[in-house]
């Protein structure tokens, strides 16, 4: 069995090993979606690490974000090198994680959620053996461009513009918080988070669309797009509907669909031929909007609660 050591931070050698492990997993699973040249993905830069090693080889990792999600639940992610799956590494990592967290609450209060990307049967079996229960499904949907619908008119008194770095961060965070107060991750977005994303190579303010009141520029909704440099199956970059948010005070006027379509046209103009997005499986209104635009189910990520 592997030796598992916990770290609050990584050495340069450990970081290099972890990037290589994540790249190997990504090549098989499509997760995490990142460029190894940029170093660790954002989700792997915080919290603590349980490193599973076989001699000098890193064969698996479990990360634990002790700051938690928007509701204070710790969040973990477990990845085993593709060449070592089925050998007990995942079981050892999950056991080490649960030992680290401590006993589950007697009143069934959640203290931890663990991601299983791709909803693999092996992950479901591992979770069941450990007594974890399935509590969340995050769907990934895919659109292959054919003919996009014509642009939709904006409601009266609303105009569309792009994001202004250094000016729009606070308003964005306020609207985002109201739109996603229910969401475990998105609801916790901060100005610092936005500024950190602005420093990423993929950030493009020209692909960040804001719907504002024409008279006073009050933010009503937004569509934040993203382009992944990795090629899709057709040899083109992959687009993403990263976040679409509408202030609850402006909902019910079709603004979400209008913003989504504006972003899709931008992604098509930038050369994307396929676009992905993530949506909660119980968010029926959003799924209906995306389905009408031609998105179909691709796969899903699952969270298990402890």
Q: d(Cα 295, Cα 299) in Å, to the nearest integer?
A: 12
Packed helices 89-101 and 121-129: angle between N→C axes, nearest 10 degrees = 40
Q: Both tokens of residue 121?
A: 């049967």
- Greatest mean pLDDT among 32-36, 42-46, 182-186: 182-186
Q: Cα(63)–Cα(44) distance, rounded to whole angstroms?
A: 7
Residue 106: what pLDDT? 64
CA contacts within 13 A on the Cβ side of 40:
19
CA–CA separation, 269 and 32 (whole Å) = 26
pLDDT digits (tens, 9 = 90+) for 111-135: 899 999 888 898 999 999 999 999 9
For residue 119, how many other CB atoms are within 10 A of its CB? 15
pLDDT in tens, 181-218: 999 889 889 999 999 999 988 899 999 999 999 999 99
Q: How many residues does the chain have?
A: 306
Phi first, then psi: give them for residue 113, nearest 5 degrees. Answer: -125, 140
* Banded model confidence at residue 233, pLDDT cuts 50, 70, 90: low
CB 266 within 8 A of CB 241: no
CA distance 63 to 73: 14
For residue 140, give the nearest of 21, 32, 42 by alpha carbon: 32
pLDDT tens digits along 57-111: 999 999 999 888 888 889 999 999 999 999 999 999 999 999 999 887 666 678 8
Q: Please tell me the chain's helix, strand, coil percentages from 3-state DSSP, rounded to the nearest 5.
A: 35, 30, 35
Q: Residue for token digits 């006073």?
A: 216
Q: Please give the Cα distance from 98 to 100 (Å, whole number).
A: 5
Cα(28)–Cα(104) distance, rounded to whole angstroms? 33
């Amino acid at each position: 069995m592997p030796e598992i050591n916990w770290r609050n931070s990584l050495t340069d050698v450990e970081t290099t090993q972890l990037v290589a492990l994540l790249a190997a997993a990504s090549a098989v699973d499509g997760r995490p979606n990142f460029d190894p040249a940029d170093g660790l993905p954002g989700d792997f830069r915080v919290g603590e690490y349980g490193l599973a090693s076989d001699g000098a080889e890193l064969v698996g990792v479990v990360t634990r974000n002790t700051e938690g999600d928007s509701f204070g639940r710790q969040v973990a992610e477990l990845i085993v090198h593709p060449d070592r799956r089925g050998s007990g590494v995942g079981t050892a990592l999950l056991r080490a994680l649960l030992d680290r967290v401590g006993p589950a609450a007697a009143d069934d209060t959640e203290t931890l959620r663990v991601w299983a990307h791709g909803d693999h049967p092996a992950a479901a079996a591992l979770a069941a053996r450990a007594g974890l229960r399935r509590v969340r499904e995050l769907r990934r949907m895919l659109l292959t461009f054919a003919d996009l619908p014509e642009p939709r008119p904006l409601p009266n008194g609303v105009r569309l513009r792009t994001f202004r770095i250094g000016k729009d961060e606070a308003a964005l965070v306020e609207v985002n918080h109201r739109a996603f107060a229910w969401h475990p991750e998105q609801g916790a977005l901060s100005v610092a988070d936005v500024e950190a994303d602005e420093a990423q190579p993929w950030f493009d303010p020209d692909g960040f669309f804001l719907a504002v009141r024409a008279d006073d520029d009050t933010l009503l909704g937004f569509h934040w797009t993203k382009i992944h440099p990795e090629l899709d199956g057709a040899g083109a970059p992959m687009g993403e509907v990263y976040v679409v948010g509408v202030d609850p005070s402006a909902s019910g006027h079709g603004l979400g669909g209008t913003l989504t379509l504006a972003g899709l046209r931008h992604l098509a103009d930038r050369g994307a031929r396929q676009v992905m997005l993530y949506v909660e499986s119980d968010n029926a209104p959003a799924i209906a909007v995306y389905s009408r635009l031609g998105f179909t189910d691709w796969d899903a990520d699952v969270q298990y609660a402890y």
